[in-house]
């Protein structure tokens, strides 16, 4: 019986040893055989470096016990997706290569900004606030490379923050920018901004069109200023020094001019605004021809009214509340004596003051007759024929 029991215990001991060795590598085997006593523990091992395949890269990840490495494959980017990424990068690179040379740096005694060449006669578009401090004096205009020349201000329009500068010499072979159509701009469309932010020459940033039909409040730039309608909002980085530079689409066409940012720090916070290119076309043509531009004028104050506000103030409906702001203004001459709700201009519905401003700026001129649909305080609808006037100049307006 004793021999039988020893035989059984021997089998048990061998079975236990086999189980112990089953989980060990070569180093573990030596350590296990060299360790005696029931209290011995299995030593911790370090992962062994593994040569990774170039075609299928692998990453070592420790298992839950922290003892053995587990190889995990890294999923490569599919070829079709990589080609798409490469194509998107090439779009930006191509646009910068084609349009970048036409973007200039404009320096005055007070600071610097950006601009872009629009024709072979040397006319350059920029912001009025970039050149306003020059007071008619010479400007320093720098193209790419070392080409630098003097420029003069041809005309300015504070209300649209647009100015035209002219240079008498151009780099050889330079190609002016191509204008797009801001009426065709869509939210989500790619944007490419080129300029000189914080004095860093010809910097390119990218983003999307975040919103359209915004307004830029020029009251912050000059007292008695009006709002610029139809502005394009983008999340492309816009910083001081970008002012006057172009905002481009994927084809390299100008959709607007970078003009303002909304920021608490004074630098980019992802909310930038560009004057729409269709307004630039109208204003720049007039500035080149005569040095000034006349804006269409209704002579009314505008205020947005929601359905809730309409109920609270006993107004006939939601819409744009209008009230004559000048005794002899166009609306007063058309017969409007009290406040009313404006609902449409020339058959186009309007639901905000931004839409009213953008429609007038981009589609009308002083002397045009427009048809306004209004609702008076009693709820009665009226159709008014109004001949637009010319907006008073900044110096002639009543100061707040």
Secondary element (H or E) of residue 215: strand 203-217
Q: Which of 114, 123, 129, 159 is catalytic?
A: 129
Token pair of 218, please? 């020029």
CA–CA separation, 352 and 146 (whole Å): 48
Is the Cβ–Cβ distance between 117 and 176 less than 8 Å? yes
CA–CA separation, 348 and 334 (whole Å): 19
4 is catalytic: no
Q: Which of 157, 159, 161, 354 is catalytic?
A: 161
How many beta carbons lie within 10 A of that of residue 318, not counting itself?
17
Spatial neighbors of 375 by CB under 8 A, at least 6 apart, are: 316, 317, 319, 340, 341, 343, 381, 382
Is the Cβ–Cβ distance between 32 and 23 less than 8 Å? no
Q: Which of 134, 243, 268, 353 is catalytic?
A: 243
- Pinpoint the alpha helices (H) of the chain: 2-22, 26-34, 79-99, 128-131, 277-290, 307-312, 330-333, 353-363
109 is catalytic: no
Phi, psi (deg, nearest 5) at residue 229: -90, 160
How many beta carbons lie within 10 A of that of residue 140, not counting itself?
16
Is the Cβ–Cβ distance between 197 and 245 less than 8 Å? no
Residue position matching structure tokens 């420029």: 151
Is the Cβ–Cβ distance between 390 and 297 less than 8 Å? yes
DSSP three-state, residue 112: strand
CA–CA separation, 352 and 358 (whole Å): 10
Residue position matching structure tokens 């001991």: 13
CA distances in angstroms from 375 to 82, 250, 334, 339, 381, listed in the order given = 57, 43, 15, 9, 4
142 is catalytic: no
Residues labelled catalytic: 129, 161, 243
């Amino acid at each position: 019986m004793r021999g039988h029991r020893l035989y059984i215990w021997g089998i048990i001991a061998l079975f236990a040893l086999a189980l112990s060795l089953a989980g060990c590598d070569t180093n573990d085997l030596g350590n296990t055989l060299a360790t005696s006593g029931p209290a011995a523990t299995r030593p911790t091992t370090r992962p062994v470096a593994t040569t990774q395949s170039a075609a299928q890269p692998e990453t070592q990840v420790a298992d839950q016990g922290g003892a053995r490495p587990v190889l995990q494959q890294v999923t490569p980017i599919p070829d079709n997706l990589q080609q798409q990424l490469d194509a998107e990068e090439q779009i930006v690179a191509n646009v910068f290569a084609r349009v970048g040379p036409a973007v200039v740096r404009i320096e005055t005694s007070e600071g610097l900004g950006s601009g872009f060449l629009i024709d072979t006669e040397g006319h350059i578009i920029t912001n009025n606030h970039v050149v306003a401090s020059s007071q008619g004096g010479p400007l320093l205009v720098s193209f790419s490379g070392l080409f630098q020349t003097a420029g003069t201000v041809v005309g300015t329009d504070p209300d649209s923050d647009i100015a035209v500068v002219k240079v008498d010499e151009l780099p050889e072979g330079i190609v002016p920018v191509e204008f797009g159509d801001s009426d065709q701009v869509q939210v989500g469309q790619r944007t490419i901004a080129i300029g000189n932010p914080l004095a860093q020459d010809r910097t390119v940033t990218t983003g999307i069109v975040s919103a359209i039909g915004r307004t830029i409040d020029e009251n912050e730039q000059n007292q008695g200023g009006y709002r610029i309608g139809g502005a394009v909002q983008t999340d492309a980085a816009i910083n001081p020094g970008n002012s006057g530079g172009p905002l481009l689409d994927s084809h390299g066409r100008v959709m607007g001019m970078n003009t303002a940012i909304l920021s608490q720090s004074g630098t980019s916070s992802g909310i930038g605004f560009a004057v729409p290119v269709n307004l630039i076309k109208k204003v720049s043509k007039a500035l080149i021809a005569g040095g000034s531009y006349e804006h269409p004028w209704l002579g009314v104050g505008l205020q947005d009214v929601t359905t809730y506000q309409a109920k609270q103030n006993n107004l006939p409906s939601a819409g744009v509340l209008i009230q004559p702001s000048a005794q002899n203004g166009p609306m007063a001459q058309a017969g409007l004596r009290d406040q009313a709700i404006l609902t449409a201009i020339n058959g186009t519905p309007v639901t905000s003051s931004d839409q009213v401003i953008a429609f007038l700026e981009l589609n009308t001129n002083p002397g045009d007759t427009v048809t306004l649909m209004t609702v008076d305080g009693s709820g009665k609808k009226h159709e008014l024929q109004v001949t637009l006037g010319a907006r008073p100049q900044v110096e002639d307006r009543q100061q707040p």
